[in-house]
Each structure stands twice: as structure tokens, then as C-alpha cells.
């Protein structure tokens, strides 16, 4: 089984091609983006590390309001098992500007750039080793799987964290609907990608393994915690958070949570995934939150917890094994 997907060379002219090895490291990836014309403001950022620069200042308050002023979700059940975490929920406007969505760029302005995402008539194809392959439209999904709210911790691989009130449905409900066959051992999730729309400068460099993909073992997908979000903060999912459907696996690092999913495929073998293809040493397929296993370039023992309040402020907290969800998932490993 090979985990490294040979990078595709779509959307690229010969003189733009850079040797793939230059990308096999997140920091190099970011440097490449800078080289490709993304502003120097990116420099302090690596991957999903945040920055205060986008909060409140450069952001257009009106645009931000618009991006989160979405239909309230009626008849919402608050799942009583997932309401309490011992930390406060982050302020909505902070979360709505503190995003990663590399298809739209690598700066902390991507919340604004992501507004280009076209979400009308969204379809999600479920394919591969299932008894009932099918394509859902979003209304189907919402009707079939009634929304519930779950308050989960969120932990980025680059050592920041927050608490978010997701709305959606458990992944195991979808499993019951499509019925994977006995051969299905893994699941691959593919994000929306259209080079004509998702173009930040540099994002057509052929060595980047677009579209963004993530994957789980089928037992992980069947776990109680594994969730598909269609909403957050009481309303539909804003585009910058991965509208209209994204993965939420709170015991894993945040990069596992693929946004704007268009395809879910059941497979016999472990699929290639975006960050793992870029650097398999730094971004493992499993990617469970673990304070005892440092990232090759920094410790995971503590995290910057982004606390509540209108501005960006944080306190240092100890990282919890499985991000505090060991009672649900430790038996899987
Ligand atoms: N999904 C897609 N399609 N593209 C991305 O760049 N970034 C990942 C994950 N899902 C990403 C993605 C990373 S690194 C993180 S930390 C989270 O989304 C951020 O989610 P948020 O912006 O809603 O906080």
C-alpha cells in the first residue's frame, strides 16, 4: 500500500513547476505560497497557527456580519451528552475570522476570500464499498438526519484550541443509511475544488495535492463522537467554516476536519490525504491529539486556548490526551 499520491500536474504551465520535494513540509509549503505572491503578512504563520492581525482591524465588519448572519436552525436538539466542556465557548466573530481554508489562500483574510465558495445546489456523492451508493443533496441530508447541537473542543496541530458549538448529525447515521460492505475498511472525504473559483495566488502550483482530502478508519467513522457539521452557533455553517458540510472529529487534530465535502468514498485501503501527502512525518494519518508525542518542530504538551470575549485572547492550558475524549475513543487504538 502506498500513502504518497503522485502529485497531479493540473492547471500549471511548465515554468511554474517546482520539484515536489519542496512541498513535503508545511513550512516550505507556506514559503512557497509567499514566493508565489501571497503577502509577507503570512510569514509568521505556519499551517493553522492563528494571527491577531485579521481580528477586527482589516476585516470589514459588514462583510463579517453578512457571512455569519445565516438562517437559524429550527427544532434544534441540544445533545445532552455533549453540552458541557470545562472551558467556555469562543466568541462567534473570533472563530469566524480564525480559519484555515487553503483553497482560498493562506492568510487570515481567507474568511473573506472563502465567501466565493458556491454552495447552491450542493451535492454529496457517497461511493465505493457500500450497499447503497447515492448522491444526496443538502436538503436530503438535513431532512434525513435531524440536526443536533454538540459543544466540542477543537485542537489544532499547531497548538491552539477553542470550544465550538457545532450543529449536524453523527457520521454513524450516514453509515446506517449507505451500509458499507464487509470489505470497507477506510473512508475518504474530498473537499470542493474548482481551480477557477478556489484560486488564491500560488494555488495552482501543480505539486500541491488538491483537492483537499482526509480519511478515517471505518471504526473511527462509526464512533459516537464522529460528526458531520452543517451548522455552528445556532445557524447554518458559514462558508469560512466549510459550508455546507464538514467533518468534525474532536479527538484528532483540526486538519482532519475536511471542509465543504463533495464526496465520501468507502475503500479497502488507507487513502492518501492532503497534509499526510505533503509531509507524512509531520502530519500522520491517525493524528490523534497527544500531549506526549511532540510534533517534529514543537511540543504538543500545552496549547493556546482561545478564550471567550470579543477580541483574540488566549491562555496556556495543558493538552489533554485525545483532546479530553479518551473515554469515547481510547478503545479504538
Ligand atoms: N479543509 C479544507 N478543505 N481546506 C483546508 O485548508 N484546513 C484544515 C481543516 N479543514 C482545511 C480544511 C485545518 S488545518 C484546520 S485547523 C481546520 O480546517 C480549521 O477549521 P476552521 O477554519 O473552521 O477553524
Q: Does ligand 1 come within 6 angstroms of the Cβ of 257?
A: yes
Domains of the chain, each with CATH number or no CATH: 3-332 (3.90.420.10)
Q: Does ligand 1 come within 6 angstroms of the Cβ of 254?
A: yes
Our CA angle for 192, 223, 2, nearest 5°, is 55
Which residues in the chain come in under a pLDDT of 70?
Answer: 1-59, 108, 199-207
CA of 182 to the centre of ligand 1 (A): 31
pLDDT at position 109: 83
- Alpha-carbon 221 to chain mean position: 15
pLDDT at position 297: 93
- What backbone phi and psi angles, to 5 degrees, belong to 82? -130, 50
Atom of ligand 1 nearest to the CA of 253: 16
pLDDT at position 204: 54
Q: Does ligand 1 come within 6 angstroms of the Cβ of 99?
A: yes
pLDDT at position 2: 24
- Alpha-carbon 279 to chain mean position: 17
27 sits in which H/E element: helix 26-35
pLDDT at position 199: 67
Atom of ligand 1 nearest to the CA of 95: 24
pLDDT at position 143: 93
pLDDT at position 206: 57
Distance CA 250, CA 54 (A): 25
pLDDT at position 53: 43
What are the pLDDT digits (tens) for 94-147? 999 999 999 988 776 889 999 999 999 999 999 999 999 999 999 999 999 999
Q: Does ligand 1 come within 6 angstroms of the Cβ of 241?
A: yes
pLDDT at position 201: 54
Amino acid at each position: 500500500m502506498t500513502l504518497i499520491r503522485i502529485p497531479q500536474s493540473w492547471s500549471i504551465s511548465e515554468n511554474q513547476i517546482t520539484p515536489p520535494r519542496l512541498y513535503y513540509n508545511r513550512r516550505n509549503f507556506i514559503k512557497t505560497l509567499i514566493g508565489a505572491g501571497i503577502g509577507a503578512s503570512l510569514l509568521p504563520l505556519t499551517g493553522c497557527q492563528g494571527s491577531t492581525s485579521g481580528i477586527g482591524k482589516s476585516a470589514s465588519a459588514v462583510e463579517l456580519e453578512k457571512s455569519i448572519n445565516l438562517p437559524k436552525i429550527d427544532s434544534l436538539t441540544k445533545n445532552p451528552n455533549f453540552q458541557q466542556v470545562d472551558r467556555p465557548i469562543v466568541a462567534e466573530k473570533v472563530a469566524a475570522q480564525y480559519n484555515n481554508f487553503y483553497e482560498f489562500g493562506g492568510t487570515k483574510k481567507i474568511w473573506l476570500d472563502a465567501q466565493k465558495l458556491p454552495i447552491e445546489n450542493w451535492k454529496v456523492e457517497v461511493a465505493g464499498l457500500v450497499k447503497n451508493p447515492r448522491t444526496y443533496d443538502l436538503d436530503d441530508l438535513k431532512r434525513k438526519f435531524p440536526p443536533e447541537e454538540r459543544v466540542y473542543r477543537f485542537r489544532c496541530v499547531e497548538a491552539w484550541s477553542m470550544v465550538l458549538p457545532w450543529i449536524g448529525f453523527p457520521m454513524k447515521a450516514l453509515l446506517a443509511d449507505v451500509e458499507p460492505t464487509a470489505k470497507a475498511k477506510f473512508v475518504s472525504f474530498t473537499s470542493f475544488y474548482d481551480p477557477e473559483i478556489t484560486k488564491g495566488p500560488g494555488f495552482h502550483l501543480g505539486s500541491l495535492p488538491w483537492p483537499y482530502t482526509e480519511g478515517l478508519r471505518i471504526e473511527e467513522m462509526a464512533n459516537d463522537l464522529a460528526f458531520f457539521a452543517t451548522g455552528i452557533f445556532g445557524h447554518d455553517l458559514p462558508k469560512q467554516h466549510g459550508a455546507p458540510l464538514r467533518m468534525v472529529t474532536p479527538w484528532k487534530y483540526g486538519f482532519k476536519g475536511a471542509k465543504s465535502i463533495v464526496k465520501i468514498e468507502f475503500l479497502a485501503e488507507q487513502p492518501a490525504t492532503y497534509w499526510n501527502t505533503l509531509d507524512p512525518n509531520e502530519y500522520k494519518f491517525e493524528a490523534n491529539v497527544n500531549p506526549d508525542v511532540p510534533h517534529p518542530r514543537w511540543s504538543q504538551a500545552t496549547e493556546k486556548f482561545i478564550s471567550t470575549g470579543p477580541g483574540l485572547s488566549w491562555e496556556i492550558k495543558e493538552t489533554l490526551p485525545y483532546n479530553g475524549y479518551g473515554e469515547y475513543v481510547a478503545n479504538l487504538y
